[in-house]
Amino acid sequence: MSLKISAGHATRAGQRPVNEDFVGMALPDEPELSGKGVIAAIADGVSGNDGGREASEYTVRGLLSDYYATSDTWPVTQSLDRVLKAINTWVQHQGSIRAELAGMATTLTTIVLRGRFYYFAHAGDSRLYLLRDNKLTRLTTDHVWDRPEMQHVLTRAIGLDSRLAVDHGMGELHEGDVFLLATDGVWAAISEYDLTAHLADFAAGKSNAEETANALLDAALAADSHDNISALAIHVQVLPETNLRDALSGSQQLPVPPKLKVGQTIDGYTIEEQIHASTTTLLYRVSEPPHGSNPPRKLVLKTLHPDRADDEHERSAFAHEEWLTKRVVARFFPQVITPEQKSYLYYLTTWHDGSTLQQHLDVGEHFTIPDVIAHGTKLVRAIGALHRRSIVHRDIKPGNIHLGSDGELRILDLGVAQSGLEAEDEVRAPRAGTPSFLAPEQFDNAPPSRQTDLYAAGVTLYLLLTRHFPYGEIEPFQTPRFGEPVTPSRYRPDLPMWLENVLLKAVASDPADRFETAEEFLLALERGAARPLPTPTAKPLVARHPLSLWRAVAAISIVMNLLLLYLLILR
């Protein structure tokens, strides 16, 4: 589904002899719509002669065409900045070489709607407003002198100075958002109360975009506006599904919050406790702002460590994690909560009382065989839900599996997860994860797969039952050799044979001997003793270690030949 909007504009000279305002908008088809988005701009020319109109028209036309010629790999803000600085150089140069255009300059306010985000750039005193939930917010700041008698004098504009400073901003789009771009001939004559009323009618469908723009101009003229008057209104009707590119782009714009203390607030959420801290991320339990008579919910807030604020790779990885977490809408995972406003780089998920399976192990809890079967069934179902969404977790282990007080099992932390949902989502660092839970082939740099997740699930269940690893604990610096796994009944003699066979199949060193899908693993657990798996047979040496076998044969052959040669020499 693509972004859908309705938009319209109106511009008039008003009580001036010449209209130096210029308004423009580009609404491309796919793939440019998803790749570059919709761009709209409004400009108010400034000059003592003919240059104002030329500056505003050239700036808007140039921006609308050159923006789509910028590299697809550039962030929106970089594309806008590069284009506007080039336009600024041209406008200033024209004003310096042509006497009739001396002093030509123009304000500019532009907005790009791409994916589920908006981006804006601004210089001068034209304005951008956002109406959301019937609340009007001005997104831009006027670049004028702060002295009352000089508030009509610009401090920034396109062409005003050789070095252009542009204000940039961005935010998340909501369905129903209404944006207004207006020159000072409109906003200076109409109160924000009246602006809100006109835009609210537009949002409610009582007027269309062009009717709204013209109504604003009529209101400005009725209020005796003495300037050119222009307005452009946009209504966001349908939002596309969030794509990874926009998530990564958004992560580069928001600041990382500082370390937060209990009692502090961020965007209205109050910090109750720091849950976890690593070298890259911080987790807090927070309470949301109160809503009516309902008690505030507890949520989890995850953000980057402040020390990683300037690390583009970590920012991208964090945005990728948030994007994946939003996609796994199922009871097996904490669910993402969208804040009403978001001023920093973080994301929120639901909070669930309980502990991870690792925490249960750490306090010495004994897992019974029925416990492990029940937990295993839920775990494999959850992994299957990930795989159906083309997501490989890559770090299944007891520390990332939460057992809630409601009895539900949830998989945590998609920080190193990968998916095939985006062409640009490449497989990196095949050995990411915890060594003792990595499948043998990953130590040979084989890429992660669904089977590597299922192997880690098998090791997890084996550990819950025995408190041992099937091939022994593996340290990060080790390059282990995998033979046959230790049978779990060695540590748990009470283990039924059918369950041992399931675990041995799950943790087999050869991928060909393992479960191919989560559904196959789940079926084996559910059938249990009714239809048990066959006991795995030990492979002959030639199948387990063919290279080692032939090396040994070669060595024996050399020794025998040397011995025969020695005997021949003695004779």
Structure tokens of 241? 């599904």
pLDDT tens for 47-89 read 656 688 899 999 999 999 999 998 876 788 989 999 999 999 9
By mean pLDDT, which of 177-181, 385-389, 521-525 is the weakest?
385-389
- The answer to whether residue 423 scores a pLDDT higher than 50 is no
Report pLDDT for 249.
67
pLDDT tens for 439-459 read 999 998 898 999 999 999 999
Residue 524 pLDDT class (50, 70, 90 cuts): very high
Residue 426 pLDDT class (50, 70, 90 cuts): very low
Q: Which of 64-68, 287-291, 293-297, 559-563 has the highest mean pLDDT?
A: 64-68
Structure tokens of 44? 């108010």
| Cis ω for the linkage preceding 480 (within 30 of 0) | no
pLDDT tens for 93-103 read 887 777 777 77
Mean pLDDT of 26-36: 87
Residue 95, SS3 per DSSP: helix
- In this structure, the strands spanning 135-138 and 167-172 are unpaired
DSSP 113: E
Distance CA(213)–CA(230), nearest Å, equals 8
pLDDT tens for 535-564 read 876 655 455 555 665 677 777 888 888 888
Report pLDDT for 178.
97
Asked if 422 and 243 count as a contact pair (C-beta separation under 8 A), the reply is yes
- In this structure, the strands spanning 265-266 and 281-287 are unpaired
Average predicted confidence (pLDDT) for the chain: 89
pLDDT tens for 312-336 read 889 888 988 988 898 888 899 999 9
pLDDT tens for 228-268 read 999 999 999 999 876 666 666 666 678 999 999 999 999 99
- The answer to whether residue 368 scores a pLDDT higher than 70 is yes
Report pLDDT for 149.
61
Report pLDDT for 124.
95
- The answer to whether residue 427 scores a pLDDT higher than 80 is no
Report pLDDT for 546.
58
DSSP assignment string, 451-512: HHHHHHHHHHHHHHHHSS-TT----TT------PPPPGGGT-TT--HHHHHHHHHHT-SSGG
Report pLDDT for 238.
94
Mean pLDDT of 214-220: 97
Report pLDDT for 48.
57
Q: What percent of the chain has pLDDT over 70?
A: 91
DSSP 442: G
